[in-house]
Chains A and B, each alone.
Chain A
Amino acid sequence: MNAFLLMLPAALVLAVAGLAAFAWALRSGQFEDPKGDAARILGDDDRPG
């Protein structure tokens, strides 16, 4: 029962954290151009953006 009380909140917190990370990724436009991002990774310049 003790393990329960520790693990369940932990699992919930992790799930919420994952959701928040996804929401951030979606909002910052990371799903807008999958083809372009795949090509960009092979580009010569290491400048982010």
Chain B
Amino acid sequence: MTALSSGCPSGLSIATEMAASQDPSAFVVSRNGHQTLDILVRGASCGGCLSKIEKAVGALPGVDVARLNLSIGRLQVAWTGSLKPKLVIETITGLGYGASAFEPAEADSASAKTERRLFTALVVAGVATAGVMFLSEPLWFGSDLPDDTRTILRLISAVVAIPAAAFAGLPFYTSALASIRSRQLNMDVPISLAVILALGLSVVETINGGRHAFFDAAVMLLFFLLIGRVLDARLRRQAYSAANALAAMQTASATRLRADGAAEAIKASDVRAGDTLLIAAGERLAVNAEVVSGTSEADLRLVTGEVEPAPTFPGQVIHAGAINLSAPLRVRALARADQSLMADVARLLEAGEQKKSAYRKLADKAAEIYVPQVHAMAALGFVGWLAFGATTAQAAFVAITVLIITCPCALALAAPLVQVVAAGALFRRGIYLSSGDALERLATVDHVVFDKTGTLTLGDPVLRREGLDAGVLKDAARLARASHHPFSRAVARAAGTGPVADEVTEYPGQGVSGFVDGRFARLGSASFVGVERGTGSELWYAVEGEALRVMHFDDTIRADAAETVARLKRMGLTVELLSGDSSSRVARAASAAGISDWRGEATPVSKAERLAALQAEGRKVLMVGDGLNDAAALAGAHASIAPGGAVDVSRLASDCVFSGDSLSAVADIIEVARTARRRMRENFGLAAIYNLLAVPVALAGWVTPLIAALAMSGSSAVVTLNALRLAGRRALPESP
């Protein structure tokens, strides 16, 4: 566990700094005589990582299984005996990877099952298509084929195609039935109709020795459509597991004090109101709680956006998301984790969710126009041919071929293909989309509202180095390393790794004292070292027999914030800063980032109100924020983006989460979303052109199985190639 063996040996992935204070024993499950634990591993990206982690964990006493799934970064460990689960986590973090235990969600295994079901259907349809094509070829080109041979080939095609279509088409049939029941016709209705009618017509034609059988068209249709479905399901699952990965980064366990005084580790989701919890220094609160005993300070950056820690004392209520800084606290839980939100925030969140589900996707809009038109065309064909003296059978043939050839293969592929390609491009840059239609909404925004702390800025204060003696910094850092206070951590970060002072004592809300090289030293607030004139935003360092030193801190804005804001403006967007922090700080950050429109001291409710006001003016607002105070605004906005360090609620309320320190991700996301939207519209356009050409041919009664096969695969191929252009072009600049 030396510094050399840290992280991914290929250098592909940067190991993440992790607070490993979590106790994973709450997540251990007993299964068939084994203890098993699922761990999410971050930073592992190559074969070297894989074997290093599996070997190290496998060598722990009693471990029978240690298998890392590199695709989703999940390590499954099973052991017998009395191995401490925390040791497993420590072994992985010791190698330089991030590790956190988690509970595999049931929703995940359900979506994995759906994906597997669709994948099986795809393969069945593919094999059937290949088989039927092989039988159809002589039918298409062998004009001198005797009639009995034709019938035999068709019968075999039927034997292959009918069961295959029955199985592979099930997802469409069930969805179509549901849509008919709810009286909202979706794309699956014409799809199901086309498949079933094509098979029915072909059976009749085969029995009567008719001209054309469309067994090949029916299964090929399903094959193409299932490609779209599988991609869509995979994208959704990928987004889900990304959200899962981020959720596991948060504190997911808590320490509960039982009535007999013993402490036990439990899952955060198991905390009930009234439980007494022990919050160690540096731990994040999972629930709203009232302090029972202990005096400390709480870091409220994620709750209110204020940079300065607030003192905590018995009787005070602290909100979930706050981090306890200096001393252990004993608290009483006031609500369960999933209810630990300020009441009005929760209400606003709900309102926002409702608004979002009311958004109509491009594909749905297309289906709404498309479905009635196609059915009208088929009806027109039937009536028209009857009017011109054709038999019912001939008219039905025309109507059915219209339905087959207009079956929206290309239309059904148009949106998911583009979304998958765009999401993949974003994913490689560490940007996770929550859903496919998020891209559509992100593409149409015209106004960007930034939160300050943790979004426009990095959130962590940074020590101002000018005028600071290196020796003083080195000595002060020896005290600072013993404290969780953000200012102390900033000092420790600036000084790098090193020793800790002797006999360190932390005074909550005041400072740290100890012995540096045998001399008594103090590091803390102005009053702690006996200075009258303090502003609270600096740290004082006092050593016996030496002059007092003062250290200043900056809430540094992200390195590329100004550049990103300028880029957003060039893209035709207006930018605004909306923060809960003090107006003077907000003004400073706004001028540094080049934002002229700013508002400070905003409450969660006023943030949401500001957004509602903007949207009432007809603006399409993109909210970028990370705190609990942003959650309602994120949910209510037309589209929203959260940085990876955001609280659970904010991440869940967002359409998109980006990792890393670079704010340029925001501009990148909008750019990719705009390109994706353009491609989607082009694809719908291509599908429309295809139909304009195909429908007259079908109405004229010229459609043969060969034409149907060529038209369908041709239009699908065009749409696919157009979607792939998104990946071919350098849609995204490489991250620096």
Contacts and interface: CB of A to CB of B under 8 A. Distances in A.
B127 A36 contact: no
B127 A40 contact: no
- Give 3 closest A-B pairs by Cβ, nearest first: A39-B47, A36-B70, A33-B69
A15 B127 contact: yes
Interface in A14-49: 15, 18-19, 22-23, 26, 31-36, 38-40, 42-45
Given A26-B120, A39-B46, A40-B50, A11 B131 contact: yes
B177 interface: no
A45 B52 CA distance: 12
A12 interface: yes
B123 interface: yes
A32 B120 contact: no
Contacts of B160: 12, 15
Residue among B47, B72, B119, B134 with most chain A CB within 10 A? B47
Contacts of A18: 127
A8 interface: yes
Interface of A: 4, 8, 11-12, 15, 18-19, 22-23, 26, 31-36, 38-40, 42-45
B156 interface: yes
A38 B46 CA distance: 9
Nearest to A43: B51
B69 A32 contact: yes
Nearest to B115: A31
Contacts of B123: 19, 22
Interface in B472-524: none
B725 interface: no
Given A8-B156, A15-B131, A36 B120 contact: no
A33 B72 contact: yes
B124 interface: yes
Given A23-B120, A26-B120, A35 B70 contact: yes
B68 interface: yes
A40 B47 CA distance: 6
B70 A19 contact: no
A19 to B, nearest CB: 6
A42 B47 contact: yes
A11 B88 CA distance: 52
A19 B127 contact: yes
B360 interface: no
A39 B156 CA distance: 44
A45 B123 CA distance: 33
29 contacts: A4-B152, A11-B131, A12-B131, A12-B156, A12-B160, A15-B130, A15-B131, A15-B160, A19-B124, A19-B127, A23-B120, A26-B116, A26-B119, A31-B119, A32-B71, A33-B71, A34-B71, A35-B70, A36-B50, A36-B68, A36-B69, A36-B70, A39-B46, A39-B50, A39-B70, A40-B47, A40-B50, A43-B51, A44-B51
Contact of B47 (A8, A15, A26, A43): A43
The DSSP consensus for interface residues of chain B is helix
A18 B50 CA distance: 32
Contacts of B70: 33, 35-36, 39
A30 B156 CA distance: 32
A23 to B, nearest CB: 7
Contacts of B127: 15, 18-19
A4 B119 CA distance: 32
Interface string B117-139: 00110011001001100100000
A31 to B, nearest CB: 7
A42 to B, nearest CB: 5
A9 to B, nearest CB: 10
Contacts of A23: 120
Nearest to B116: A26
A38 B124 CA distance: 26
Contacts of B116: 26
A34 B462 CA distance: 42
A29 B124 CA distance: 18
A18 B130 CA distance: 12
A23 B46 CA distance: 29
B56 to A, nearest CB: 14
Contacts of B71: 32-36
A44 B51 CA distance: 9
Interface in B69-124: 69-72, 116, 119-120, 123-124
Interface string B41-64: 000001100110000000000000
Name the residue in B71, B119, B123, B131 with the highest tally of chain A Cβ atoms < 10 Å from its Cβ: B71
Interface string B15-54: 0000000000000000000000000000000110011000
Of the listed residues A22, A36, A42, A45, the one surrounded by the most CB atoms of chain B closer than 10 A to its CB is A36
Given A33-B69, A33-B71, A43-B50, 6 more contacts: A12-B160, A35-B70, A39-B46, A39-B47, A42-B47, A45-B51
Contacts of B156: 8, 12
A45 B51 CA distance: 9
Interface string B207-227: 000000000000000000000
Contacts of A15: 127, 130-131, 160
Contacts of B50: 36, 39-40, 43
Interface in B647-696: none
Nearest to B123: A22
Contacts of B51: 43-45
A8 to B, nearest CB: 6
A42 B119 CA distance: 28
A13 B120 CA distance: 18
Nearest to A4: B152
Contacts of A39: 46-47, 50, 70
B54 to A, nearest CB: 9
Contacts of A11: 131, 134
Contacts of A12: 131, 156, 160
Contacts of A31: 119
B51 to A, nearest CB: 5
Contacts of B124: 19
B227 to A, nearest CB: 16
A11 B69 CA distance: 37
Interface in B118-175: 119-120, 123-124, 127, 130-131, 134, 152, 156, 160
A30 B71 CA distance: 12
Contacts of A42: 47
